[in-house]
Amino acid sequence: MYKVAVILAEGFEEVEAIAPVDLLRRAKIDCVTVSLAGEKLVPSSRHIPVLADRSWEEVDFDEYDGVVLPGGLAGTECLLADDRVAALLRQFHEAGKLTAAICAAPTVLAKTGLLAGKRAICYPGLEEKLEGALVTCEEVVQDGTVITSRGMGTSVPFGLALVEYFLGSETAEALASKIVYRR
C-alpha cells in the first residue's frame, strides 16, 4: 500500500489539503496529515482548526512514497521558512518519490530546486517565483515525480492526479465517476 504525507502548515488552504486527502483515502492510499508545528491542531487560512493525524516529530518519512504541500499564502510562507521541509523535498526527489504542491506551494518546490527544467504551474501571478520551471497554464501538471496545480478550484483534479500517479488512470477515472466529477 502506498503512503502519502500531506503537510499542514499554519495558514494552509483548507480545500487544497482536504480534497486531495479525501480522494487519496477513497482510493485506499494510506494518506496522513502531518502538522508542521508541534501542535496537531493547525489553524487554516480561513481560521478553521484542523486536527492533523500526526505531528512532524511522529513521522518516519522514509516509510512514505509521496509528500503533498497544500497552498495558501500564509501556509506557503511557513513551508518556505522551515528548513525541514526543504530537506524532506530534496530527500524525496533524490529517492524518486512523489513531490506535489498546489496553489502558492509550488514556489517551495522551486526554491528547493526541484522544478529546474520541469513543467509546472502555480497560483496565477506567482509564476515568476517558479525559477527554472517551464511554466504552463493547465489545471494540473505532472513532470516525472513532480505534480503541481493552480489553486483551490483545481483541488479535485489535483487529488485525482495524485491517485492516477499511484494507481493508474483507470482507477482515477473510476473514482472521478464515483464522485460525479467530469474530467
CA distance 99 to 162: 10
* pLDDT per position as a tens digit, 103-132: 999 999 999 999 999 999 999 999 999 999
Amino acid, single-letter form, for residue 118: K
Task: Determine contact, residues 140/148, Cβ cutoff 8 Å.
Answer: yes
Kindly name the residue from 78, 103, 122, 137 that is annotated as catalytic.
Answer: 103
Q: Report d(CA 11, CA 181) in Å as an integer.
A: 28
Longest dimension (CA), the chain: 40
- How far apart are the C-alpha atoms of 170 and 148, rounded to whole Å? 21
When the pLDDT of each residue in the chain is averaged and rounded to a whole number, the result is 97
In the 8-state DSSP scheme, what is residue 80?
H
103 flagged as catalytic: yes
- SS3 for 106-144 is HHHHHHCCCCCCCEECCCCCCHHHCCCCEECCCCEEEEC
As a dihedral over the C-alpha atoms of residue 58, residue 5, residue 36, residue 41, rounded to 10 degrees, the angle is -80
Sequence-distant (≥ 6) Cβ neighbours of residue 153 within 8 angstroms: none
The count of C-alpha atoms lying within 13 angstroms of the C-alpha of 60, restricted to the half-sphere facing its C-beta, is: 2
Give the mean pLDDT of 147-166.
98
Place of cell 489553524: 43
Chain-centroid distance of CA 151 in Å reads 11
Local structure of residue 95 (DSSP, 8 states): T
Secondary-structure class of domain 3-172 per CATH: alpha beta
pTM equals: 0.98
pLDDT in tens, 12-65: 999 999 999 999 999 999 999 999 998 999 999 999 999 999 999 999 999 999
pLDDT of residue 38: 86
